[in-house]
Every structure is written in C-alpha cells, then in structure tokens.
Amino acid sequence: MNILSLLALSLPVLTGTIIVHLLWIGKNNLVELAIKLSLGIGIGLGISSLLYFVYLILFAASPYFLYVELALFFTVLAVIFLKYKKIVHAPSRRLSLNFLQIAILGIAGLVSVSSFIGLVIQSRQRAHGNWDAWMIYNRSARFIYRSQEWQDAFSKDMNVMFHADYPPLLALNIASSWDILGGETTYVPAFQSFLFLLASLGLCFGALASLKSLGQAGLGLIFLSGIPFFIGEGGNQQADVPLAFYILASVVFLFFYYREKRAALMAFAGFAAGLSAWTKNEGVLFLCASVGIMVVVTFWKRSFRDLLLYFSGLLVPLALILYFKFQIAPPSEFFSGGSSKIIQDIMDSSRHQMIFDSFKNFLLHGSGWNNIGVYVILCVYFLLFHSCIKDNRDVVFIALAIFVCQITGYYVLYLISPYDLQWHLSYSLDRLFVQIYPAIVFVVLIASQSPEKIFSSSLE
C-alpha cells in the first residue's frame, strides 16, 4: 500500500509538471528541470484538489475520480506532443563547478540528507502526524471519503477545536487518493507532507541557482534543511509547509516574470497565491496582502497588464475558496465575539505587549543556531553582503512589502484571537513564521552577493 500511495499522488504531480513545462519553455538544463518538477508537485496537487472539490459537488460518492485525473493527464500529454515539434529550445549550458561551489553543495547535500533521514524516522513514529493533522486535515479526509454527506466534514455543529472552516486542499488530496486506492492508509498524508517539503527545498534551490548562482542555491538549501523549526514541520502532515511552498512559488514566479516578461509567469504567480488561500486561512491573508500590493503597484506604474494577468491565474481558486467559505464552511471563530469584543481586544495594551514580546523573543532566540534566531542571521547576512539590486529592485520591494503586510496580519490575528492569548502564541507562533520562511530566505539571498562574488579574489 505504501508504494501505491505514492503512485496515487504521482499522477497529479506529473500532470502539474507537464503543465508548468508547457507554459514555461526554456533551456531544459538540470536547474530548470528541478524548478519545473518542484513547481509541478505543488501546482499538480493544487489542481487535483480543486478538481476533486468540483467533482464532489457534482458527483458525490461516485468512485471514478481516477478517470478524471487520467483524462486531464492524457490531455496535457497530447498537447505537449502536438506542440513539441513547434517548440524552439534555447541552447542548454553544461554546469561547470569550481571548488567553492562543490564545497557548499556538498555541505548542503549532507545537511539535507541528514535532516531528511531524521524526518523519516520522526514520521514513522507519528504515523498520524501532529495534533492539527489528525484533528483537522486527516479527520476531514475521513469524513469526505467515508460518507456521501461529505460536507459534514465542515459542519458548523462541530466543536471549534476541529476548525471546520479551514480550507480543504490537504483533506481533498488525501480523500481523493484513498478513493483511487480503495482504502485508507496513513502513507498518503505522510507522502503528501514530504512532497510539499521536497518541493519547497527544490524550488528555492533551483530558483536561486537560475537567478543567482549555484553557491547561493547551496546556501539557500542549508538555510532551509538545516533549521529544525522549518524542516521539522515537513513530517507533521500539517498545512504550514504546503502554505510555505505556495507563498514561495508565488514570489518566485514574480521574480521570473520581471526577468522574462512572460505572461504565463504572472498568471502562475496569481494561481499560486490562490492555492495558498485554498490551503490554510493564513493563505487568505497572503492573498489579500499580495493583491493589495499588486493594486498599489498597478496604480503607481499606471499599467493594468500585470494585475490582469495576476487575476487571470487567481480566478479559479478564488472562486472556489469563496464558494467554500460562504456556502459550506462555518464562520471563523476569530469573529465569534462580535465587534465590541474585537474593539476591546484591540484597545487592550497588555495584549499588544504580550504579542510584541513573543514576536521579539521568537525572532531573536526562537529558531536558528546557538540560541540566535535565524531571522537575525538572515538580517546580518544581508547587511554584510547585500548587493545593489539592479535587476530585481522592483520585485524585491514588492516581495518585502507583501511580507510586512503578512507579518502585520499575524499580529492583528493574535490581537483579536478568541483563545487564551499566551497559549495561542506559544502553540502557533513558530508555525506562522514557517509559512513565510522559505520565501524570505529566497528574497534575502536574491538581494545579497553570492559566495562566488564574495570570494572571487581568492578564486582567481
């Protein structure tokens, strides 16, 4: 059943990879193939969950979703064969590594493999994942898979601890895979969790290698796989790493769009932002922040082309998340106390102080190495080795503005939280920063000098 579980997830992954390749033809060297495969994992699983949601609405309890996925796969496969002869590929360039690059990539590979082995051991010991996994996503998947009344998975009558309002991407992929396999297995949510982690690592590495250098890509891999607070989430079967992937993917697509000006890349950026909202409620916050910044940039530049392309990719996931939120899911508990309670919390200075202290302690000491926060390390690295940001200036500022809005949104959510605030902060703060961590690593390293540049004098 374990191999079959992986095969059940491989079909949407292959479909997503082909779709990305169709809309983003390039050199097809190893770096670009790594980017496309990583993107294919997330895009494919996102498309599969959207399709399964529509399938459930139209044909609940019909065990034929496999044929829908096969039809989509063979359709995109036929398209790529028909277009293959018309595609002119840019000449590929063989990778040539110097000693510094070999050393950095060797360290990155060792760190990644060691972390992944530990993650596999951890996952085998906790086959059902962490609390949120089996109380929210895997529970929803069982409701969907076992019952014709699949919408009961998101019933308003459930206790608030089940978070029935959470977006259903993970649950839908788990349930659709069980539908294909004809039975429930804990391997499916575990494999899905690993796939999103590998996609995040591969995308950050490949994008940095393409836009910057192989040495910078190796540093990015070390920053991701060598930090327990991020890599440890990869086996917990929760939505934070999948959300981190979609946030990273949206930002990466923006960078490639500003370099290549291909319309498909901006549409992909919008699609990835839509999938972030389809993954977790904090993804809705990222979507709002992204759209808000894109609107500001549009009016600043007085050009609507980028915004229209962005919305063209966003349209389908946005329509389905709105349908889910307003027709199926119960209201969020964050607004259950009413406006008077929210205003009271906002005016409470002690809540501001508690949130500020928690943010400060986490950022300074809560992650990284030797009790030094990884965000501090990234900040110091940027201050020491920042570059003049000639080619990527606009998109770097766009990404940073989105991150500021996202973190501000986290602050506001804690401020109006209906839970005990101290418990809520201690339980979830680190996972919120997991969600934006890969994208921040990517942007910081893009805006910094590469190791090849820093040590260029010694390499000559």
pLDDT tens digit sequence for 237-289: 999 999 999 999 999 999 999 988 899 999 999 999 999 999 999 999 999 99
DSSP 125: H
| Measured distance CA(24)–CA(386) in Å, rounded | 30
For residue 188, give both structure tokens.
């499916």
What is the phi/psi pair of residue 86, to 5°? -90, -10
In contact, 249 and 142? CB cutoff 8 Å: no
**Amino acid symbol at 99:** F
Distance, in Å, from the CA atom of 46 to the CA atom of 191, rounded to the nearest integer, reads 15
Q: Residue 322 in 3-state DSSP?
A: helix
Residue 137, pLDDT above cutoff 90: yes
Contact between 13 and 33 (Cβ < 8 Å): no
Ranking 127-131, 143-147, 223-227 by mean pLDDT, the lowest is 127-131
Residue type for 431, please?
R
Residues 6+ apart with CB under 8 A from 277: 167, 283, 284, 286, 287, 317, 318, 321
Q: Which helix (H) or strand (E) holds 436?
A: helix 421-446
With H, G, I as helix, E, B as strand and everything else as coil, classify residue 375. helix
Nearest in space to 278 (alpha carbons), one of 82, 452, 45: 45
Q: Locate tokens 């500021």: which residue? A: 404
Rounded Cα gap, residues 104 and 431, in angstroms: 28
Give pLDDT tens digits for 9-20: 999 999 999 999
pLDDT value at residue 83: 72
Tens digits of per-residue pLDDT, 385-423? 887 666 678 899 999 999 999 999 999 999 999 889 999
Mean confidence (pLDDT) of the chain: 89
Distance of CA 285 to the CA centre of its chain: 13
Interval 116-138 mean pLDDT: 85
pLDDT single digits (tens) 163-206: 899 999 999 999 999 999 989 999 999 999 999 999 999 999 99
Cα(93)–Cα(96) distance, rounded to whole angstroms?
A: 9
- For 423, other C-beta atoms within 10 Å of its C-beta total 10
